Amino acid sequence: MDNIIGRKLDGRYEIQEIIGVGGMAVVYKAYDSIDDRIVAVKVLKEEYLKNDEFRRRFKNESKAVAVLSHPNIVKVFDVSFGDRIQYIVMEYIDGITLKEYIEQQNLLTWKETVHFSVQILRALQHAHERGIVHRDIKPQNIMMLEDGTIKVTDFGIARFAQSETKTMTDKAIGSVHYISPEQARGGHTDEKSDIYSVGVMLYEMLTGKLPFEAESAVSVAIMQMQEDPKRLRNLNPDIPEGLEDITLHAMQKDPAQRYKSAADMLEDIERFKRNPSIHFQYKYFVDESPTKYVDVIKEVKGDNSTIDDKFEKNPAAAKKSNLLPILAGVTAALVIVVVGMILLTLAMRGVFSTNNQVTVPNLVGQQLQAAQANTANNIIQIIESNTEYNSKPAGQIISQTPAANTKVSKNSEVKVVVSKGPQLIAIPDVYGQEKTQAEGTLQSSGFTNVNEQQQYDPNTAIGYVISTQPERGQQAAPGDAITVLISLGPTPNALQSVPDLSGLTQDLATRNIQDAGLIAGTPTQEYSSTVPKGYVTRQDPVKATQVPANTTINFWISKGPQPASAPTTTTVPLLVGLNVNDAQAALTKCNLKCGQIYSVYDDNVPSGTVVSASENQGAVVKIGTSVDLDVSTGGSNSSGSSTTSTTTSTTSSQ
């Protein structure tokens, strides 16, 4: 497509140079002569003009981005879908891709990673809320401006959420290192597929490595579907646990176990930013369904129809069935005789005498072991029949059968139900949450007795949770009191430590200053030969200085190396002996001017040759200085004496 460089598309867009080449299109830098601005023009490659699928995808990108308007998404200004050329006119981004930046840095700090990820997620939240799923989120499609601003680009395989959600992998597979497992298998894709890709980018930024790498794209796709990535902190122990939790939660194989939306992921990142020591206790693969018991006997008895059919079809079996009533009668008679003999024996021994009966005591409220010890004389037998969670202390009897005051025979069994104590619940992690949100989380978990205490804390924003007592993750009963410690912000007049701003962009430096409870001053631009353009060169006060809260921290931003200054002086060249034309050329080359030219008669010097000059050879003079020349005429005057005549001629001879 180089042949369109220099052309003017539709009499408006002057194509200047190629700035990017993709799978189906070439991106050019161009000048919009109507709106007087530089734009990017994405042109569909000629070989795909007759391919319906690529034409559809190209139009799909323009439709997708046309409904979006967000500072972190590249803007579309114009489209053209002609038969001979198809192009999209977009916002020109003067920057590099996030992939290029990652390769330059090897791995990013967690603060930079969070800064970039928040912008990407905000862009995706905007797109998802308008029914657009990107489906090819990767650092190659993320542009980074000099000030650290992120722009999401290339919606080439994006789809509208209400359109088809299952497509063949050759149409929507995206980049294999960043695709979700459902994309790899050609299954259903939705907003959670973009969330997975963001998780992969987080992984790469924090560790400098991709979670899955292999010799072939197919192998990588299989790993995306079947294998779990290495823990991030195994590769980079400096990564905060909370950020590792967020990354792995976004990269769950099962879409149902990922973040439900970009907004949900943003919420956790904001909690992490407020408290970098936070730890998210995500749980996966929890089977919360109740245990089911199968009544095998009932299932066997339920098949009587089959048994009856066999009897009807088997004459021998039918004959045997006729004997059943007789056998049943004989058995019943024998049972009656045996029971009668037993009752007679018991009566003779006085078992039914009222002297052998006792009154069941009230066991409810007693500890099981104490009750059993009190009845050790075998008046009754206390049997623990069941246990259950209860507000009563563990080991206490909460019910009995038979009830208290019931008459029973000596040594009879009294079955009791014993308390296991209150059912304990793990205290949820509300560290870093806003006070109202934290109280709601605790109450929805079953803790209704929530108390509040306040405390100064320089690391937690005002109104947010510092910690709980008991601490997060510990077990407590629903009725137990839970104390929530709420931050009052930094202690008044307390000293704060000035953060280290070296090597940060202006935005990140400002954020770090504000996070420390300090005020960011207006940055000053200065030249630097050691710090890249756009990054902090120095700060005042310096890092680790202890200053009061709300102190203004000033810092300087590099403008890059100082350009070389133009020279102000020059050296007079050799002029004597040169032809006057050559002398004038030598003066011009040294940024000097040729002043007056004087004719002199000199028999020894050829005509047109410079005899002398008003400035000596090698003299240092200001640029633009005029130098007068004495030029020989080559002859004598009439008296034979050598004289000089002054002229203003600029020719070399009479």
C-alpha atoms less than 13 angstroms from C-alpha of 331 in its C-beta half-sphere: 6
Q: Which stretch of 79-88, 221-230, 270-279, 302-311 has the lowest confidence by average pLDDT?
A: 302-311
- What's the pLDDT score for residue 326? 45
Angle at 154 between CA 150 and CA 160, to 5 degrees: 110
Q: Mean pLDDT over residues 226-237, rounded? A: 93
How confident is the model over 331-366, as pLDDT tens digits?
A: 454 444 444 554 444 444 444 445 678 888 899 999
Q: Name 327's Cβ contacts closer than 8 Å, sequence gap at least 6.
A: none
- Residue 247: name the closest of 177, 174, 196 by CA: 196
H or E element in which residue 275 lies: none
Q: Is the pLDDT of residue 41 over 70?
A: yes
Burial class (CB in 10 A: 0-12, 13-18, 19+), 62: buried
Report the half-sphere exposure of 507 (CA within 13 A, side-chain side): 13
Q: What is the phi-psi region of residue 50: left when phi exceeds 0, alpha when psi lies from -120 to 50, beta otherwise?
A: alpha
pLDDT at 552: 95
Which residues lie across from 454 on neighbouring strands?
Answer: 486
Q: How far is CA 595 from CA 450, 577, 582, 640, in A?
A: 96, 17, 14, 29
Work out the angle between the directed axes of helices 262-274 and 191-207 (0-180°, nearest 10).
30
Task: Reply yes or no on whether the pLDDT at 138 is more than 90.
Answer: yes
- Geometric angle at alpha carbon 187, from 181 and 188, rounded to 5°: 100
Report the residue count for the chain: 654
Spatial CB neighbours of 353, under 8 Å, sequence gap ≥ 6: none
DSSP designation for 248: H
- Name beta bridge partners: 38: 31
How far separated are the first and last CA of the chain, in Å rounded? Answer: 62
- Separation CA 608–CA 595 (nearest Å): 16
* Closest C-alpha to 518, from 484, 481, 480, 490: 490
DSSP string covering 560-626:
-SPPPPPP-EEE----TTSBHHHHHHHHHHTT-EEEEEEEE--TTS-TTBEEEESS-TT-EEETT-E
- How confident is the model over 481-492, as pLDDT tens digits? 899 999 987 777
The confidence score (pLDDT) of residue 341 equals 52
C-alpha dihedral, 141 to 145 to 150 to 151, nearest 10°? -50
Q: pLDDT confidence of 293, banded at 50, 70, 90?
A: very low
Task: Give the mean model confidence (pLDDT) for residues 365-387.
Answer: 77
Is 419's pLDDT higher than 50? yes
Q: How many CA atoms lie less than 13 Å away from 623 in the CB half-sphere?
A: 7
Reported in sequence order, the residue ranges of 490-535 that DSSP labels E, i.e. its strands, are 495-497, 519-520, 524-526
Report d(CA 397, CA 385) in Å as an integer: 11
Tens-place pLDDT, residues 249-266: 999 999 999 999 999 999
pLDDT of residue 49: 80
| Cβ partners under 8 Å of residue 642, min gap 6 | 600, 601, 602, 603, 636
At 322, list the tokens.
């006729």
Supply the DSSP symbol for 396.
B
pTM value is 0.45
Question: CA 516 to CA 219: how far, in whole Å?
Answer: 46
Beta pairing class for 37-44 and 495-497: unpaired
Q: Which amino acid is at 438?
A: A
Whether residue 22 contacts residue 1, with contact meaning beta carbons closer than 8 Å, is answered with no
Amino acid of residue 566: A
Residue 386: both structure tokens together: 């069941």
Q: What is the pairing mode between strands 524-526 and 552-558?
A: parallel
C-alpha–C-alpha distance, residues 397 and 135, integer Å = 61
Please tell me the predicted confidence (pLDDT) of residue 92.
92
C-alpha of 361 from chain center: 66
Task: State residue 374 phi and psi, 5-degree precision.
Answer: -70, -20
With a CB cutoff of 8 Å and minimum separation 6, the contacts of 235 are 207, 208, 209
* CA–CA dist 278, 459 (Å, integer): 12
Helix (H, G, I), strand (E, B) or coil at 26: strand
β-bridge partners, 495: 548
Q: Residue 252: what pLDDT?
A: 96
Pair of tokens at residue 41: 């023009």
Beta-bridge mates of residue 476: 425
Burial class (CB in 10 A: 0-12, 13-18, 19+), 385: middle
Q: Return the axis-axis angle of helices 191-207 and 110-129, rounded to nearest 10°.
A: 170
Q: How confident is the model at residue 56 (pLDDT cuts 50, 70, 90)?
A: confident
Q: How far apart are CA 36 and CA 508, in angstroms?
A: 32
d(CA 53, CA 187): 19
* Choice among 2, 94, 136, 603 that is catalytic: 136
Q: What is the pLDDT of residue 108?
A: 93
Beta carbons of 628 and 596 less than 8 angstroms apart: yes
Give the closest residue to 506 by CA, choosing from 74, 149, 123, 92: 149
Query: Where is pLDDT greater, at 187 or 123?
Result: 123
Indicate if 264 belongs to the active site. Answer: no
Out of 135-139, 185-189, 288-292, least confident range: 288-292
**Cβ atoms < 10 Å from Cβ of 218:** 11
